Structure 1
Amino acid sequence: MSFCKDCVRGVRWEGTPTGKMEKINGVDCYVATPEGDYPKDKVLLLLTDVFGLPLVNNKLLADDYAANGFKTVVPDFLNGDPVPADGLSPGSNFDLMKWFPGHGADQTRPPIDKVMAALKEQGVTAFGAVGYCFGARYVFDLAFDNAIKAAAVAHPSLLQMPADAEKYAQTSVPLLVESCETDSQLPPEKQVVLDEILGGGKAESAASEGKAESAAGEGKFAAAYKRAYWEGCTHGFAVRGDQSDPKVKAGKEGAFKDMVEWMQKYL
């Protein structure tokens, strides 16, 4: 498995996070809580890209999910060792492939499980999970274990096709995939495999917003499946996209809206 150059490219967004850092079962977490009433027995896990909690974009996304009624927890499953923020900078020589061996499933899955176990002790009975890039791999893994009730991923990294799609088809976890035009991690051929195994058909053109969607809840997958496709966007658009580009801005905002609506329906 490998990453792509766009895994360490992107733009830091502007904004001031409103959530707070908490230690949950020994794991550093960013917690964004809705201002009004919300279901205390549900938590949305946000599993980040390789930049983790230090990247303000990830915290701002968590705040936005909380503003839509979901208590959102962002665990530091990178164990305090994310890719440095200057990895985003032009000319950065950060070597992602040297970083990766110290961040395999053996190191990164246990913190997620510890946080979920502690939240269950606090009365949480249902989890949804949204994952971006690297974090999307773990959303799939949680679904494989039936540890979550609903899943949504944007430009997922490290998926193996068709094996992961076929394994996902054995779960009962509704899946939303936000894909894009230029993505070596989830290129067109992998998008087609997902559709054929989980959706049962090709993506059909939707409205004139640079977006196409595959059919939901059809084909071999008995739960629900949808894949959205954003033209003019590259890997990382939903979490590190350049908001000065109209197509990228539309993709970022559209993907977020899709993911919120998916969780409202299935979590």
Structure 2
Amino acid sequence: MAEDEIATKAPESDAQQAPADPVVQGVFPDDTRAQAGPSMGEHCVTDRPTPSGEMPTGELSKLGGVDVYIAKPADYPHSPSKLLLLLTGGTGLMSTNNQLQADKYASEGFLVVMPDQFEGNPAPNSVDMTKIDEHPSFLEQVKLKTAETFKSFLIDMWLAYHTPERVLPLLHKVIEGAKEEFADAVSNGGGIYGVGYCFGAKYILILSGEHPDTATWGQAPPKDEEQGVVKKEPLIKAGAVAHGTMVTKEDLEAVKSPTYIAAVENDPLFSEEEVLTPGRKAMEKNGVEHEIQTFSGVPHGFAVLGDYDDPKIKQLQAQAFGQMLGWIQGH
């Protein structure tokens, strides 16, 4: 599928079934594993080089007791703004690139709140590929393979710790704090907007969905009450996400808010067959306004601000930002 192809109506037959996957009980009823294979990619846990000459202009603060980066439009509060919740990939709050990404949305008129989803514990740093010889010796290859295996283990352990049970309560504290401190921006936008990248994409989708009241706070609903639990309305007015990780089809099936998705062609971390296609069908069935755009020839994580040598990736990174920005501006 070409990078400029947008799919909002899928002709796939409902009879097509993805291979059966073992059921893993999660926060949400009937939640299943997104896909087999890797759950986080290299671009989810490492920053690309920072664009030359750019420095963050926002500030570090706290909302609801949680560390946040806040980026404000230059003329705020003299001119009205809208509140935007930005959720990052594994590189987290202190990443210069993530802070610059928040600044970019602020320059377009949004008051941006970017929380520390990981409580000061971002994803383990990946192997620095710039220090590896182009033609490594056998011993160097063994060392590299060992390092990659250990890195994969560390990331799996990190993911096992940063689950919805831990992340969602943090996000709720930030949202409640933002509603109080920036009530003018919330009111002006008629709610809170959201953008999410990689790890953060899953949580924008969750906050854009209708879930049992307990589940939205990271708790599994009581089994004997699942049929009668109170449903919580979406906390995000409109959301835009790029190349999500750990996303399940159930996350998309629960979405109620207008949602834009930037996906990467043949992305094992955000499977077309197991996640996007059933999720798209559910959104169509539920009458949810949505747009799914698939980009080809780019790596997972390409939409996160950072420099690339390949001019095509640079171009599509800018295009993805424009699409995500346009979506939340239009809603």
Show the counterpart of 2:67.
28
Q: Superposition pairs for residues 244-255 of structure 1, below 5 Å? A: 244-255=309-320
Q: Superposition pairs for residues 94-243 of structure 1, below 5 Å? A: 94=151, 95-122=154-181, 123=183, 124-125=186-187, 126-145=191-210, 146-161=234-249, 163-168=250-255, 171=256, 173-189=257-273, 190-198=275-283, 219-239=284-304, 242-243=307-308
Show the counterpart of 1:209.
none
Distance 1:229 1:88 in 2: 28
Q: Which runs of no fewer than 5 residues in structure 2 stay unpaired?
A: 1-32, 130-143, 211-233
Distance 1:165 1:227 in 2: 12
TM-superposition CA deviations, 1:195-227 (whole Å, max 9, x none): 3333xxxxxxxxxxxxxxxxxxxx424341101
TM-score w.r.t. length of structure 1: 0.83
Show the counterpart of 2:135.
none
- Whichever of the two has the greater Rg, that structure is 2
TM-superposition CA deviations, 1:53-76 (whole Å, max 9, x none): 122111111000000000001001
Describe the SS at the equivalent of 2:110: coil
Show the counterpart of 2:116.
76
Distance 1:152 1:192 in 2: 17
Q: Which runs of no fewer than 5 residues in structure 1 stay unpaired?
A: 199-218
1:5, distance to aligned residue in structure 2 (A)? 3.2
Pick 1 or 2: higher relative contact order, CA cutoff 8 A, min separation 6.
2
Asked if structure 1 preserves the Cα contact closer than 8 Å seen for 2:209 and 2:251, the reply is no
TM-score w.r.t. length of structure 2: 0.67
1:105, distance to aligned residue in structure 2 (A)? 1.1
Asked if structure 1 preserves the Cα contact closer than 8 Å seen for 2:198 and 2:301, the reply is yes
- 1:220 partner letter: K
Q: RMSD of the TM alignment (CA)?
A: 2.0
Q: Which structure has more strand as a fraction of its residues?
A: 1
Q: How many residues align?
A: 240
Distance 1:179 1:131 in 2: 12
Identity %: 35
TM-superposition CA deviations, 1:51-98 (whole Å, max 9, x none): 1012211111100000000000100111110014x3262256432101
- 1:165 partner letter: L
Show the counterpart of 1:205.
none
- 2:276 partner letter: Q
